[in-house]
Amino acid sequence: MSHKRALVVDDSPSARMLLKRQLERHDIVVDTAPSAEAALEYLLYQRPDAIFMDHMMPGMNGLEAVRRIKNDPATAMIPVIMYTSKEGEVYVGQARALGAIGVLPKEVKAADLLAVLENLKLVALPA
């Protein structure tokens, strides 16, 4: 089985590393980007199976990046999950309206991450 690939976009090195380690436990190859602009540059050459996008970053914020990703036919089908400390129904609604499939908190629980990965078919469901 070929490995699935995810892109983690966050301006915080510790947040990038934390989620990277959690994803690698599920045999997912993880690339990282320190900004939305770097993520868009990455997407010119790579097509990950999913993108985990922070919201609050210097320069372009995560929601603007999601809008750009979803408006580009070459990247529109890549699922984007917001990975952020922002929360609430209004924020989740905004993120979904722009094309994100959901929102994971920065303090993500292993079970919640696993549920998202199973939903995206990035890990096999237990037999």
pTM: 0.93
**The pLDDT value given to residue 3:** 83
Write down the residue that tokens 């990975």 correspond to.
83
Distances (CA, A) of 71 to 1, 24, 64, 67, 74: 31, 29, 11, 6, 9
Q: Output the CATH code of domain 4-119.
A: 3.40.50.2300
Helices (H), 1-127: 13-24, 36-42, 62-71, 89-98, 110-119
What is the dihedral angle through the alpha carbons of 109, 105, 67, 31, rounded to the nearest 10 degrees? -50
- Predicted pLDDT of residue 2: 66
Rounded to whole angstroms, the Cα distance separating 93 from 102 reads 9
User: In this structure, what are the phi and psi dihedrals at residue 6, rounded to the nearest 5 degrees?
Assistant: -125, 150
- Nearest Cα neighbor of 8 from 36, 108, 87, 73 is 36
Report yes or no: 65 and 38 within 8 Å, Cβ to Cβ: no
Contact of 107 with 87, CB cutoff 8 Å: no
> Can you give the pLDDT of all 127 residues of the chain as single tens digits?
568 999 999 999 999 999 999 999 999 999 999 999 999 999 999 999 999 999 999 999 999 999 999 999 999 999 999 988 777 788 888 889 999 998 888 888 888 999 999 999 898 766 5
